[in-house]
């Protein structure tokens, strides 16, 4: 089955029939948490890691976490009902709704190059950066105002932290640089998998954000639906795209 389908509190329904009250605090104040993952033929890679992160977000955001076995069953059932390659988003709202949406993967998104600008990193004083919550209006506005795909956030020390919807990976003198999961940023499941792959390939990894001023051999963003994608334009300046280490890490040819 293709298209978009929804599991609402465990019941699979067409998108047009999915209903969450407009009084839910997810709508009124953005109080909700979520996880985005991919699936293919009913299988969801890294499901355990996604649910681990969801549990941490739920604890920090004071949103009750349903039983892990229940979420696993509902996610798997929806992935199987969709039947093909799909993007799955699981949202837990502050009003207690459990919403899972499965939709077709965007064609050509995997490894697709991105255009970006630099922007400031500001620590969240209450939730921290490791909570995947839905109050993302400032990031969405920043991307739309800039007319790009991503804003790459830079801390007070001039180092990259994370992008608006992805982790940031840079290659400097053949070494992979990426910010540590120190509570300031989201712990990326895709990035963790890439770091594991780097170890198998004997590629060196330095857990510190690369200098935002450069230079880099290659600059990338990493996310569930992109895996690894080269930044080909930053602040209006063209970048070369893939470098040999990035190609090896992503397993792309050419």
CATH number, domain of 79, equals 3.30.470.10
Q: Mean pLDDT for the chain?
A: 96
Instruction: Say if residue 60 is in the same domain as residue 18.
Output: yes
Please spell the DSSP secondary structure of 160-222, one letter per residue: EEEESSSEEEEEETTEEE----SSSS---HHHHHHHHHHHHTT--EE-SPPBTT---SEEEEE
pLDDT tens-digit readout, 75-127 = 999 999 999 899 999 999 999 999 999 999 998 999 999 999 999 999 999 99
Instruction: Say if residue 80 is in the same domain as residue 28.
Output: yes
pLDDT tens-digit readout, 64-84 = 999 999 999 999 999 999 998
Instruction: Say if residue 70 is in the same domain as residue 189.
Output: no
60 phi and psi angles, rounded to 5 deg: -70, -35
Do the Cβ atoms of 92 and 34 come closer than 8 Å? Answer: yes
Is the model's pLDDT at 220 over the cut of 70? Answer: yes
Return d(Cα 195, Cα 249) in angstroms, integer. 9
Do the Cβ atoms of 178 and 143 come closer than 8 Å? Answer: no
pLDDT tens-digit readout, 146-177 = 999 999 999 999 999 999 999 999 999 999 99
Instruction: Say if residue 97 is in the same domain as residue 119.
Output: no
How confident is the model at residue 244, as a pLDDT?
97
- Which positions ≥6 away from 159 have C-beta within 8 Å? 179, 208, 209, 210, 211, 212
Instruction: Say if residue 27 is in the same domain as residue 75.
Output: yes
Neighbours of 11 (CB within 10 A): 10
Task: At 7, list the tokens.
Answer: 């599991």
Domain that holds residue 19: 5-104
In a domain, 201, yes or no: yes
Instruction: Say if residue 191 is in the same domain as residue 136.
Output: yes
Instruction: Say if residue 29 is in the same domain as residue 63.
Output: yes
Angle 168-172-176 from CA coordinates, rounded to 5°: 55
- Which positions ≥6 away from 85 have C-beta within 8 Å? 38, 39, 40, 41, 104, 105
pTM of the model: 0.96
Instruction: Say if residue 171 is in the same domain as residue 220.
Output: yes
pLDDT (mean) for 8-26? 96
């Amino acid at each position: 089955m293709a298209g978009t389908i929804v599991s609402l509190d465990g019941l699979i329904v067409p998108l047009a029939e999915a209903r969450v009250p407009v009084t839910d605090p997810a709508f009124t104040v953005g109080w909700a948490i979520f996880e985005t993952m991919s699936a293919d033929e009913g299988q969801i890679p890294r499901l355990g890691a996604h649910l681990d992160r969801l549990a941490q977000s739920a604890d920090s955001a004071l949103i009750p976490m349903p039983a892990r076995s229940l979420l696993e069953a509902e996610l798997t059932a929806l992935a199987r009902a969709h039947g093909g390659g799909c993007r799955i988003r699981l949202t837990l709202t502050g009003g207690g709704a459990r919403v899972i949406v499965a939709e077709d993967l965007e064609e050509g998104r995997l490894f697709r190059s991105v255009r970006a600008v630099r922007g400031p990193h500001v620590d969240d004083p209450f939730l921290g950066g490791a909570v995947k919550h839905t109050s993302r209006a400032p990031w969405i506005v920043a991307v739309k105002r800039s007319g790009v795909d991503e804003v790459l956030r830079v801390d007070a020390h001039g180092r990259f932290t994370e992008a608006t919807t992805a982790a940031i990976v840079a290659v400097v003198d053949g070494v992979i640089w990426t910010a540590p999961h120190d509570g300031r940023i989201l712990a990326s499941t895709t990035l963790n998998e890439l770091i594991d792959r780097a170890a198998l390939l004997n590629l060196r990894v330095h857990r510190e954000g690369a200098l935002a001023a450069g230079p880099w051999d290659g600059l990338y963003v990493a996310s569930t639906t992109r895996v690894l994608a080269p930044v080909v334009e930053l602040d209006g300046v063209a970048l070369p795209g893939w470098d040999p280490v990035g190609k090896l890490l992503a397993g792309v040819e050419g």
